Amino acid sequence: MTGFGLLLRKEIREQVRTARLPVVVVVFAVFGLISPVFARYVREIVEALGGGQFQGMIPEPTVADAVAQFTKNMGQFGVLIAILVTMGSVATEKERGTAAFLLTKPITRGAFVGAKVLAIGSLLAIATAVAGTLCWIYTAILFEPLPAAHFAAAVALVWLSLAVVAALTFLASVTTRSALVAGGVAFGAFLVAGILSALPAIGAYMPTSLWGAADQLALGTVPDPLLGPIVANVLFVAAAIGLAWWSFRRQEI
């Protein structure tokens, strides 16, 4: 892993200088903040817009709605952002020739892959943590305080689901030369995972099923199964990164 530290510093500086880090954190923060707000006021908004037509039709919002809104937003916009920030990570470097510039220096391909994986994973972790913190605070203000440890565990599950999406996108980015193709492949894989999550035997182990588990955890209930899906998704991430590294080692740049 010669050059890992150098490349990791470069990746982090790149995220800051190209404004990727602040933009992703702000976007996640907005979704973390508006989730409980939207859950709390959706009834008033709909009733106001409907001119009294929907009076009494929408039930009183609860803290469960705030949590569900948060995981739903993360499952949609979070996934989209995870794909967007990852799809060009290697494909664009190969396409533009900067990968060739780097790999003719005393830097191993393992370091190249490892630095990118850690940088993307950290970016998503920071952004998810900020979003989760804001969601927790506003849920406490607008509804009631949620058990902090359980909520933190739920946010970690959301991050794991995004990490699976990012790892699949990373694999696609390594194996193709176009960021758009990588994004398309990753999105397709994500849709397939969504379809598979409806199957009774394996559904609970898909990354999309982690959001339901996160809902329960955030509300203080330990879902069943929990450990199996966590292990399965950690293995998805490890397998995708391992395959990406294996493929990248053999590639012509």
Partner 1 sequence: MSSTAGAAAAPAIEAHGLTKRFGDVLALDRLDLAVPAGSVFGFLGPNGAGKTTTLRILAGLGHASAGTAVVAGVGVGRGGTELAGRIGYLDQDPRFYGWMTGRELLAFVGRAYGLAGSALRSRVDEVLETVGLVEAAGRRIGGYSGGMRQRLGVGQALLPRPAVLFLDEPVSALDPEGRRDVLELVGSLGGEATVFMSTHILTDVERICDRVAILDHGRLVTEAPIGELLARHARPILEIDPEPGQADAVARLAAALRATTWTREVREEHGVLRVVVTDAEQAAAEGLLVVVAAGVRLARFERVRPTLEDVFLQLVGTEAPGPEVGA
Which chain residues interact with partner 1 by CB under 8 A? Answer: 2-3, 6, 10, 14, 17-18, 96-98, 100-101, 103-108, 249-250, 252-253
Q: Is 62 exposed, middle or buried (0-12, 13-18, 19+ CB in 10 A)?
A: middle
Instruction: Pick between residue 53 and residue 104 the one whose CB is nearest to partner 1.
Output: 104
Rounded to 10 deg, the angle between the 20-49 and 4-17 helix axes is 40
7 or 193: whose CB is closer to partner 1? 7
**Would you call the peptide bond into 61 cis, given omega within 30 degrees of 0 as the criterion?**
no
Distance CA 53, CA 115 (A): 55
Nearer to partner 1, 103 or 167 (CB): 103
Tokens of 1: 């892993």
In angstroms, how far apart are the furthest CA atoms of the chain?
A: 69
User: Pseudo-torsion of CA 170, 176, 178, 180, nearest 10°?
Assistant: -60
Handedness of CA 231, 234, 236, 238 (dihedral sign): negative
Nearer to partner 1, 16 or 238 (CB): 16
Query: Is there a contact between 42 and 58 (Cβ–Cβ < 8 Å)?
Result: yes
What's the min distance (Å) between Cβ of 186 and partner 1? Answer: 24
Give the nearest distance from C-beta 105 to partner 1 in angstroms.
4
Among 105, 85, 90, 124, which residue's Cα sits nearest to residue 6? 105
State which residue, 111 or 232, has the beta carbon closest to partner 1: 111
Smallest distance, partner 1 to C-beta of residue 113, A: 14
**Token pair for 93:** 């470097």
Residue 97 or 188 having the CB closest to partner 1: 97
Q: Shortest distance, CB of residue 94 to partner 1, whole angstroms?
A: 11
**Shortest distance (Å) from residue 139 CB to partner 1:** 37
Closest CA to 30 of 73, 88, 1: 73
- Cβ 224 to partner 1, closest distance in Å? 46
The distance of closest approach from Cβ of residue 85 to partner 1 in the complex, given in angstroms and rounded to an integer, is: 15
96 vs 231, beta carbon nearer partner 1: 96
